Chains A and B, each alone.
Chain A
Amino acid sequence: MLHYVMRRLGGAIPTLLIIIAGAFFMMRLAPGGPFARERRVPPEVEANLLKAYHLDEPLWQQFLRYLNGLLHGDFGPSFKYKDFSVADLIFGGFPVSLQLGGMAILLALVIGISLGIWAALRQNTWVDYASMSVSMVGIAVPNFVVAPILTLVIGLQLQLLPVGGWGQPGHYVLPVIALCLPQIAAIARLTRASMIEVLSSNYVRTARAKGLPARLTISRHAIRAAILPVVSYLGPAIANIITGSVVVEQIFSIPGIGRYFVQGSLNRDYTLVMGVTVFYGALVILCNLIADLLYGVLDPKVRYD
């Protein structure tokens, strides 16, 4: 197990390097720069700025400088938000993104799995049809459509909840809903499909034949097997939630790191975009690893040696 984890983490290093190099050089290919604005700075001032941020060095040297910084845990200064280092911004915003994403994924799991099981047990009844068509809509409608509708109806028309900001429990409701709806839908569909399959499998039939009550058959035997596909979906789901929060954080004015990704790229804030990219990359790799390990715990057929 430990060996497997080490091997996976070792394999992540080249992946991360490719991500870093790709992001670094693509960012520099884009026209413009961190100090370009409509109110152009005089050339001498620009030279001072470039020098202050080492942007006057050859590109490969800047790349090495950046890698060296990363090795020492230094993400560099933000070009745009001059009072903060990139690490300040990322580690300041991440708890918020984590809180938002964590609540969304938990809610999605609880509701999605319950809905899926319920639909599977009532297969081909109105319950099944209704919940599956609703989740189809959930998958089809992106959260940048759901979010403004939620603010309009619940925030403005009904005035039930605040339309933006972060801190009080009331602030959590709308963004979490907007973020978890597509995931609820995906998880419900996955659970339903695998539950139906499991319910018709031999061991479940045997359990029933031996007279085990339906409630116990389902809770002891069926569910455990049925949620396996959901676990392997968790890795990509967390990645989805993180990227989805880029939009949701923008719409609800939430101080997470998702907004830095968008604003950093638009502002050509090189170090900020790099920092967020590296951070996201590492996070997605880590989430996939955890999902895989969890899979091993739940499924006796999978062993990591």
Chain B
Amino acid sequence: MSLIKRNVLLSALTAATLIAASTVAQAEMVLHRGNGAEPETMDPQKSTGVIEANIQYEIFEGLTTYSPDGQVVPGMAESWDVSDDGKTYTFHLRDAKWSNGDPVTAADFAYSFQRLVDPAIAADYAAIADPILNAEQIRKGEEKDLSKLGVKAVDDKTFQVTLAKPAPYFLGLIRHNTFLPVHKATVEKFGQDWTKPGNIIGNGAFTMQEWTPQASMTLVKNPNYYDAANVKLEKIVYYPTEDISEEFKRYRAGELHITYEVPSDQIGFIEANLKDEYEAKPYLGTYYYVVNTTREAGAKKELREALALAIDREIIADKVTQGSFLPAYSWVPPGTPDYNTQYVSFKDMPKEARLAKAKELMTAAGYGPDNPLNIEILYNTSENHKKIAIAVQSMWKAIGVNATLNNQEWQVYLDTRDNKQFDVARAAWIGDYADPVTFLDLFLSDAGVRNDAGYNNAEFDKLVKESFNVADPKERMAMLEKSEQIFLADLPIIPILHYKTKHMVSPQVQGWAYNNLDFHLGRYMSVQ
């Protein structure tokens, strides 16, 4: 054997040993998580969706944050005081560091909150800050001076927020990812590129190591995190799993620990074979049909009631969607904290009686089998929406409604809805925070394009708007409950289903807990 050959062989052997050694060292704790789609941005202030939030909560931490079961718990703020009028919140920050070692200060929060409402940033979600003093004026461009926003760094560790009106849900609201703090020096240094791996600085339990769009994002544990001692995962890899059935296949092949969704056509199989790994629990969201009250078919309250009565929600929830939704009899979903769920009047009526009443209302309005009411159901392309629309169509047929289906591509559908070119349209709403206002303010008469039912009830408007000025939580909730009663009697929308969070969670995952906002932070989880 020549010397060269032996050297080659030796180095090959060394390489093999090294590789073997590194695989042993690599037996670190990694969580692989499906996340639905490619995140649109990692810049908290520019974000809109849940997909972005899931990752941002790992990289950043707000003043308050989520416990495993979804409670409001201290985050960067160790404690806080609320003034008697409910308008001033003073947060006392803990000694925490950014991932580069800089201290997290009150100025960081002031900067980030101002950034959210700055028209130059053009944040989609800027309106979420409206309860803060002058936020609305600044984002509308009526007030040019950003420093007029009701936020103040009293000292390095004291951050004060002044509200325009009391908002008892404020501590929950500021958990929204648009309120997460950003590192000013980094944002200013890198501009558009500040969220790229290598640039991004966070204050959360993890930092970004790698981001390949459309493939994956890898987060690694942040040693500078204040609670790093209790963070067990070394790495989390998030995958944009656009295609639900492919995601499920990857889960079954052991490539994912947690899925973002569960394909509803597989639920039969899952119930039979993977029941213990299937997590389906109530979520703060409502699937509904919005009725265009500016059109003939939707203008009469009696007709809307008849339409609502005729829908058999149990059949849709259990049979059509295979139990992946819950039947809905309210607009604000059950499980909203401190709020007594309000229901439509016919919730406890037997099915036959509901049908009889619906027919009666139809006849009274001059419609019936000989003179059917023609309605078009608008929905966007999706197997589930289609199945539900077909079921509703047949249920309405029983009371003399001749419904036609109109399927449109997502963007076309949004356009049609915005222009109110529909009779009845499929719609859905997921709460931004756990408070009834996130549902009810959608249908204020001056809510603009968001109120696509064209609903206009002065009494409803008055109750919701007055509740904005009430500091007493109990009194406030009572007003909101009353407003929903009015809303559910008018039925500008027909609640059909409430959402469930649906995930496959591998038995290897520890520390996963249910919460109805569906945020599950990696800092609480581990993999066996």
Q: What mask results when residues 242 to 273 of chain A are scored 1 for a CB within 8 Å of chain B, else 0?
A: 00000000111111100110010011100000
**Minimum Cβ distance to chain A for residue B466 (Å):** 22
CB–CB B40/A82 < 8 A? yes
**Taking the nearest CB of chain A, how far is it from the CB of B197, in angstroms?**
11
Question: In the assembly, what is the distance between CA of A36 and CA of B413, in Å?
Answer: 10
**Does any Cβ of B come within 8 Å of A164's Cβ?**
yes
A218 within 8 A of B: no
Which of A45, A166, A250 is in CB contact (< 8 Å) with B242? A250
Cβ B122 vs Cβ A45 within 8 A:
yes
* A267: nearest chain-B partner, CB-CB: B411
Given contacts A37-B48, A52-B122, A250-B243, contact A43 B448 (CB under 8 A): yes
Once the chains bind, are A163 and B124 in contact (CB under 8 Å)? no
Cα distance, A255 to B252, chains bound together (Å): 21
**A159 — which chain B residues lie within 8 A by C-beta?**
253
Binds B, one of A25-33, A57-65, A230-238: A25-33
A31 touches which of B242, B411, B448 (Cβ 8 Å)? B411
Q: By the criterion CB–CB under 8 Å, are B38 and A81 in contact? A: yes
Contact assessment for A89 and B448 in the assembled complex, using a CB-CB cutoff below 8 Å: no
Q: Which of B432-478 contact A (CB under 8 A)?
A: 448-450
Q: Contact mask A115-126 → B, CB, 8 Å, 1/0?
A: 000000000000
**Would you call B214 an interface residue if the criterion is a C-beta within 8 Å of the partner chain's C-beta atoms?**
yes
Contact B412 A31 (CB under 8 A): yes
A167 partner residues in chain B, CB cutoff 8 A: 215
The reply on B414 being an interface residue by CB < 8 A is yes
CA A42 to CA B119, docked complex, whole Å = 12
Q: Are B249 and A151 in contact (CB under 8 A)?
A: yes
Most buried by B among A30, A31, A165: A31
Given A38-B414, A155-B253, A165-B255, CB of A81 within 8 Å of CB of B40? yes
Given known contacts A80-B40, A82-B41, A83-B195, is B126 in contact with A45 (CB within 8 Å)? yes
B264 CB-CB contact with A under 8 Å = no
- Which DSSP category, helix, strand, loop or mixed, fits chain A's interface? loop
In the complex the two chains form, is A93's CB within 8 Å of B241's CB? no
Residue of A with least CB distance to B142: A44
The answer to whether B246 touches A251 (Cβ under 8 A) is yes
- How many angstroms between the C-alpha atoms of A83 and B190 in the bound complex? 11
Tell whether, in the assembled complex, residue B212 and residue A255 are in contact, meaning their CB atoms are under 8 Å apart.
Answer: yes
Which residues of A are found within 8 Å of B414, using beta-carbon distances?
32, 36-38
Whether A40 lies near B450 (C-beta < 8 A) is: yes
Shortest C-beta distance, A95 to chain B (Å), equals: 11
B411–A36 CB distance below 8 A: yes
Identity of the chain A residue whose Cβ is nearest the Cβ of B212 in the assembled complex: A255
**Which A residues are in CB contact (< 8 Å) with B246?**
151, 163-164, 251-253
Scan residues 117-131 of chain B and give those whose CB is less than 8 A from a CB of chain A.
119-120, 122-127
* B214 engages A93 (CB within 8 Å): yes
Q: Whole-angstrom distance between the alpha carbons of A45 and B122 in the complex?
A: 6
* A94 on interface, CB distance cutoff 8 Å: no
Chain B: CB-nearest residue to A166: B215
Given A36-B414, A80-B40, A255-B212, also A162-B255 (CB < 8 A): yes
Check if A22 is an interface residue, CB within 8 A of chain B: no
A68 CB within 8 Å of chain B: no
Q: Which of A43, A83, A89, A152 contacts B192 (CB 8 A)?
A: A83
Residues of B130-187 contacting chain A, CB below 8 A? 139-141
Take A44-B141, A83-B192, A259-B214 as given contacts and tell me if A36 and B415 are in contact as well, using a CB distance cutoff of 8 Å: yes
B43/A164 in contact, CB under 8 A: no
| CB within 8 Å for A39 and B48 given contacts A32-B415, A253-B241 | yes
Is B213 part of the binding interface, using a Cβ–Cβ cutoff of 8 Å?
yes
Does any Cβ of B come within 8 Å of A4's Cβ?
Answer: no
B41 touching A81 by the CB < 8 A rule?
yes
Question: Which of chain A's residues have a CB closer than 8 A to the CB of B418?
Answer: 36, 40
Q: Which residues 8-56 of A have a CB within 8 angstroms of B? A: 30-33, 35-45, 48-49, 51-52
Q: Shortest CB–CB separation between residue B62 and chain A, in angstroms? A: 20
Judging by beta carbons under 8 Å apart, are A268 and B411 in contact? yes
- Enumerate chain A residues within 8 angstroms of B250, measured Cβ to Cβ: 162-165, 253
A129 at the interface (CB under 8 A from B): no
Q: Tell me how far the C-beta of B50 lies from the nearest C-beta in chain A, rounded to whole angstroms.
A: 11
Known: A37-B48, A164-B255. A32 touches B215 (CB 8 A): no
Question: Which B residues are in CB contact (< 8 Å) with A40?
Answer: 418, 448-450
CB atoms of A156 and B252 under 8 A apart: yes
- Determine if B427 is an interface residue (Cβ-Cβ < 8 Å): yes
Which residue of chain B is the closest to A50 with respect to CB atoms?
B122
Taken together as a complex, chains A and B put the C-alpha atoms of A268 and B414 apart, in Å, by: 12
**A156 contacts B195, CB within 8 Å?**
no
Contact A33–B253 (Cβ < 8 Å): no
CB distance from A136 to the nearest CB of B (A): 29
What is the minimal beta-carbon distance from B477 to any residue of chain A, in angstroms? 24
* A84 contacts the other chain (CB 8 A): yes
Instruction: Determine if B410 is an interface residue (Cβ-Cβ < 8 Å).
Output: yes
Q: Who on chain A is nearest to B416 by CB?
A: A31
8 Å CB contact of B411 from A33, A89, A251, A260: A33
Cα–Cα distance between A39 and B125 once the two chains are bound (Å): 10
Whole-angstrom distance between the Cβ of A171 and the nearest chain B Cβ:
10
Contact yes or no, B215 A165, CB < 8 A = yes
Mark contacts of B191-221 with chain A using CB atoms, 8 A cut-off: 1 yes-contact digit, 0 otherwise. Answer: 0110110000000000000001111100000
Scan residues 149-186 of chain A and give those whose CB is less than 8 A from a CB of chain B: 151-152, 155-156, 159, 162-167
Expressed in whole angstroms, the minimum distance between the Cβ of B121 and any Cβ of chain A is 8
Question: Is B42 part of the binding interface, using a Cβ–Cβ cutoff of 8 Å?
Answer: yes
A82 to B48 Cα, complex, angstroms: 12
Interface membership of B428, Cβ < 8 A: yes
In this complex, what residue of A is CB-closest to B194?
A83
Kindly report which residue of chain B lies nearest to residue A96, judged by CB atoms. B215
Is B239 in the interface zone, CB < 8 Å from A? yes
Contacts of B409 in A (CB 8 A): 266
Query: Does A69 sit at the interface, judged by CB under 8 A?
Result: no
Contacts of A229 in B (CB 8 A): none
Which B residues touch A92, using CB under 8 A? 212-213
CB-based contact B253/A45 at 8 Å: no
Q: Say yes or no for B359: interface residue by CB 8 A criterion.
A: no
CA distance A36 to B429 in the complex (A): 15
Q: For B141, list chain A residues within 8 Å (CB).
A: 44, 48
Chain A residues positioned under 8 Å from B120 (CB to CB): 48, 52
**A260 to B192 CA separation, bound complex (whole angstroms):** 20
Chain A, range 67-113, C-beta contacts under 8 Å to B: 77, 80-85, 89, 92-93
Q: Mark B221-252, 1 if CB is under 8 A from A, else 0.
A: 00000000000000000011111001001101
Contacts of B213 in A (CB 8 A): 81, 84, 89, 92-93, 255
**A40-B449, A42-B448 given as contacts; is B255 within 8 A of A163 (CB)?**
yes
Minimum Cβ distance to chain B for residue A36 (Å) = 5
Bound Cα distance A80, B414 (Å): 17
Nearest-neighbour CB distance to chain B for A239, whole angstroms, equals 22
How far, in angstroms, from A255 to B212 measured CA to CA in the complex?
8
Q: 23 A-B residue contacts at CB 8 Å? A: A30-B412, A31-B415, A31-B416, A32-B411, A36-B415, A37-B48, A38-B427, A40-B448, A40-B450, A41-B125, A45-B139, A48-B119, A48-B120, A80-B40, A82-B41, A85-B192, A152-B249, A164-B249, A251-B246, A252-B246, A253-B240, A259-B214, A263-B242
Q: A31-B412, A253-B243 are in contact. List 4 more A-B contacts (CB 8 A).
A: A38-B429, A156-B252, A252-B246, A263-B242
